[in-house]
Structure 1
Amino acid sequence: MADLDHSSSDDTSMDSREENSSHDSKLEFSEDEETLITRMYNLVGERWSLIAGRIPGRTAEEIKKYWTSRYSTSV
């Protein structure tokens, strides 16, 4: 029974690591994605959901975060 408890806690920690690594990897954009985001932004502006619809596996929130972190101008 101790083995079951131990493996359960291992599964939980592994799931957490997998979630973190998959979340971190989504914050990295390929050169093609960056180019597409820039082109789409020039065409449609801040319509993040429309831009995200052109990039499989990306959400509007991810695109917006990428854009604001990369191109945000502080006054």
Structure 2
Amino acid sequence: MADSEQSSTENHTVDSQEVTSENLKHDFSEDEETLIRRMYNLLGERWHLIAGRIPGRTAEEIEKYWNTMYSTSE
């Protein structure tokens, strides 16, 4: 029985970056996502000003969300 538990655990291993991206996407509502995009277009990377418009969000959370969802790495 230990062998079947071990193999089932191995099958559920997921890349941590993938989990982080999915968790962040679900943690922000559509309204918050829209507001972040609009504010970013107006203010740029002034995360503290954007966070001031979204109750309960920190500048660090918003910057991490933005970098995870919209950064381009080439």
Same fold (TM over 0.5): yes
Ranked by relative contact order (alpha carbons within 8 Å, sequence separation 6 or more), the top structure is 2
Q: TM-score range by the shorter chain?
A: 0.5 to 0.7
Q: Percent identity?
A: 76
Q: What is the root-mean-square deviation of aligned Cα atoms in Å?
A: 1.7
Deviation, 1:37, is 0.1
TM-score normalized with structure 2 length: 0.65
1:52 corresponds to 2:51: yes
Unpaired runs of at least 5, structure 2: 1-22
Unaligned segments of structure 1, at least 5 residues:
1-23
**Alpha-carbon distance in structure 1 between the residues aligned to 2:43 and 2:35:** 12
Q: CA deviation at 1:32?
A: 0.1
| Stretches of 4+ aligned residues off by more than 3 angstroms | none
The number of equivalent residue pairs is 51
